[in-house]
Copies of this chain bind each other. A is one copy, B any other.
Amino acid sequence: MIIVLRPHVTEDELSQVVEHVRQLGLTPHVSRGVTRTIVGCIGDEDRLREVPMLAFPAVETVLPIEKPYKLAAREFAAGNTLVALGTGGGAVGDGAVHVIAGPCSVEGEDMLRRTAEAVKAAGASALRGGAFKPRTSPYSFHGLGPEALDILAEVRAATGLPVVTEVLDTRHVALVAAKADCLQVGARNMQNFALLTEVGDAGKPVLLKRGLSATLEDLLLAAEYILARGNPHVILCERGIRTFERAVRNTLDIGAVPYLKQETHLPVLVDPSHAVGRRDLVPALALAAVAAGADGLLIEVHPDPDHARSDGDQSLRLEDFGELMDRIRAVAGAVGRQVAEAPVPHALAP
């Protein structure tokens, strides 16, 4: 950590800061520039992170050097983390393009089974579907709840597709973990630290979506909460951020993909459906994500979007999804990759 002092700081003020750093168990290195004096602090930066150095009037600013996340940093791991949602097939992060597709919410068994069969046939490697839905308005449809979990389990057994579903409440984690192959933490709960801790303890892979105004550092620190509980199976997901632009729902931060791939060993998915909020623009963003190096995609698909109970505007029809998969295969091939095979959910594996 570098402490930058204000111009014209006195010797006394400098001594005070230096002494404080020393008391914290770090070694201060004073260096005088043309207009500013700085104090470099050697030692465990974490001990300084919480210290209110701005409390000293002589301090102008404090520049951290170390990254605040450890387990999530690329340098922590030998290679890419692979997150398998089942056995056989591939694992997210293995270089192939993993496509997780399905409806926004589980509205019934028939619609889910039809969707699952169609996305599996088209090449998806897992099924998404919401049982508990976080909605901006209390008057919106909030999902079928536990009943939807049962439907997901049935369709999972019938089709052999691993299942990803969101969990909203610490009290539901065990319930959801018992039925799903992967627990999703949604954008609005990315900094629900109680929930992060709980899914960290649940022993299942976690799909962690970036918050609407979360920096990439915030996202990696949220992942760190899960990793710190001993659960290494975290998949990050860029799903659009909130900016001044409202022509489409959110701004897909495509630059987050190559940045995160450098910065962390965790796999990175992109959710073009939530980012753009309009079905007709989903394919362009899905292809862009693959070209940019994403480990996979999370895409909303519905057998009858016009009558969907949530997110109908952004859900692809079954046939559109099939067509998009062909285009994804072409772009994946152009960047030396291929679309992943679906694994078999653990409990179903022979």
**Which residues of chain A have a CB within 8 Å of any CB of chain B?**
2, 4, 7-8, 20, 29, 31-36, 38, 40, 42-46, 49-56, 63, 65-66, 68-69, 75, 134-142, 168-171, 188-189, 191-195, 211-213, 215-218, 221, 224-225, 228, 240-248, 251-259, 262-263, 275-276, 278-281, 284-285, 287-293, 305-306, 308-313, 315, 327, 330-331, 333-335
Bound complex: CA A254 to CA B285 (Å): 7
Contact of A218 among B31, B44, B136 (CB under 8 A): B136
CB distance from A60 to the nearest CB of B (A): 9
Q: Let me know if B38 and A38 touch, CB within 8 A.
A: no
A52 nearest CB neighbor, chain B only: B312
* Residue on B nearest A2 in the bound complex, by CB: B2
A-B contact pairs, 20 of them (CB 8 A): A2-B63, A33-B43, A35-B66, A38-B40, A40-B40, A49-B140, A52-B306, A52-B311, A137-B221, A138-B221, A138-B228, A189-B192, A251-B253, A262-B280, A284-B291, A288-B288, A327-B334, A327-B335, A330-B334, A333-B334
Question: Does B168 contact A171, Cβ atoms closer than 8 Å?
Answer: no
> Is B290 a contact partner of A136 (Cβ separation < 8 A)?
no
Closest chain-B Cβ to A2's Cβ sits at a distance in Å of 6
By beta carbon, the residue of chain B nearest A20 is B306
Question: A8 to chain B: which residues have CB within 8 Å?
Answer: 75
Report the Cα distance A38→B42, complex, angstroms. Answer: 10
Q: Find the B residue at minimum CB distance from A281.
A: B258
Given contacts A136-B218, A138-B225, A291-B290, contact A306 B56 (CB under 8 A): yes
CA distance A170 to B52 in the complex (A): 31
B251:A191 contact, CB within 8 angstroms: no
Which of chain B's residues have a CB closer than 8 A to the CB of A188? 191-193
CB–CB B171/A54 < 8 A: no
